[in-house]
Amino acid sequence: MKSFIKIIDPGFHTSIQDNGRYGYRRLGFPVSGPMDKYSFTTANKLVGNFKDEAVLETTFKGPKLLFSGPCVVAVSGAIIPIFKNDENIELNKPFFCDLGDVLELGVVENGFRNYISFSGGLCQNKIFGSYSQYYPISENGTITKGQNIKIKGGVTYKNKIKGGVTYKNKIKNELNNLSFDSKLKVFEGPYWNNLENELKNKILNTEFKIGSNDRMAYRLSGGVLENKISSFSASVMPGTVQLTPKGDLIVVMRDGQVTGGYPRILQLTENSQSLLSQFRTGKVISFEISEYDKSHQ
């Protein structure tokens, strides 16, 4: 049975995200998908979704939703107040919503983004293989006030809660470790070894401050890294750290361009991308080089 949620208040910046849109990068399509993939996957598993189904990604201030039918729901990501009607709900714990229930998220206390998952996942307007919202590929870049969003059904409530609770016990330790650590793990980027050692050391020993940021990119500044490296255009992907001539860093995020004009000096690990997307303007971070894991070769 299909039901839907009605958006009473969309929150600050809330969009539908699944795992992303692949196969269209050569036409200039960004991949989109969740900024914090770790919390996205957790949220899906908590409601018993075994695949990466479409969820709501919220930023800073969460939305207010009205349910039209039965559904298991969970919220992961930033520390945030969660209310079902007047009842206080825990983060990372699946709960049941039915016709007439209202779910409301407040303002983040620590972190920046949350993931609201629904049993079966959201199924509103799949385009070019993905539910992820990105304007102008999808009609809108965010959910809008008054909109109804369809939810897939299929599995019983009992199974869902059971699956969710089982999963929660299994990942309890991992969840406790979601640390908001400001040291981001990176791999060397394609251009890294063309940099002079002095510049490399500066980059690894500098604390960078997060400037303007959104789903396209995070800008970091703080180092004295002016350089005369001539610009060129090549593929970039989420997590790529580019060095501008002025010495700022631009980290490409999920809705970022597929090609970039600055040298690609570092590449954030997937977990570090998740971590960075939980930070906002003013937060100070630094980098730590990781080795590639060659064990699978």
Partner 1 sequence: MCFKINFNSYGEKAIIIDFKNNIDKNIYVAWQSELCISLQKEFHDILEDVVFSFSEITLFFKILPNRVHEKKISTWIKNFSLTKQHIIRNLWEIPVCFDEVFSEDLLVKSENNSITYESYISEFLKCIFEVHHYGFLPGFLYLSGLPLKLHLPRKPTPEKYVAPGTVAVGESYVGVYPQKSPGGWNRIGRTYCSFFNNKNNPPCYTLPGDKIKFISISLDEYQSQIDKIHQNNIPKSSSFEIIY
For partner 1, the binding residues (CB under 8 A) are 22-31, 127-128, 136-138, 187, 189-190, 232-235, 237, 239-240, 257-259, 264, 267, 269-270, 292-293, 296-297
Residue type, 232: F
Residue with Cβ nearer partner 1 (28 or 106): 28
Residue with Cβ nearer partner 1 (66 or 124): 124
Q: How far is the CB of 296 from partner 1 (least distance, A)?
A: 5
Residue with Cβ nearer partner 1 (86 or 294): 294
Residue with Cβ nearer partner 1 (19 or 119): 19
Q: How far is the CB of 23 from partner 1 (least distance, A)?
A: 6
Distance (Å, whole) CA 179 – CA 271 = 11
Q: How far is the CB of 208 from partner 1 (least distance, A)?
A: 20
CB–CB of 16/148 below 8 Å? no
DSSP 17-65: E-S---S-GGGT------SSHHHHHHHHHHTT--S--BEEEEESB--EE
Distance (Å, whole) CA 237 – CA 206 = 23
Q: How far is the CB of 266 from partner 1 (least distance, A)?
A: 10
Residue with Cβ nearer partner 1 (257 or 286): 257
Q: How far is the CB of 128 from partner 1 (least distance, A)?
A: 7
Neighbours of 130 (CB within 10 A): 25
Q: For residue 70, give Cα distances in angstroms to 55, 89, 97, 111, 223.
A: 16, 17, 6, 30, 52
CB–CB of 274/37 below 8 Å? yes
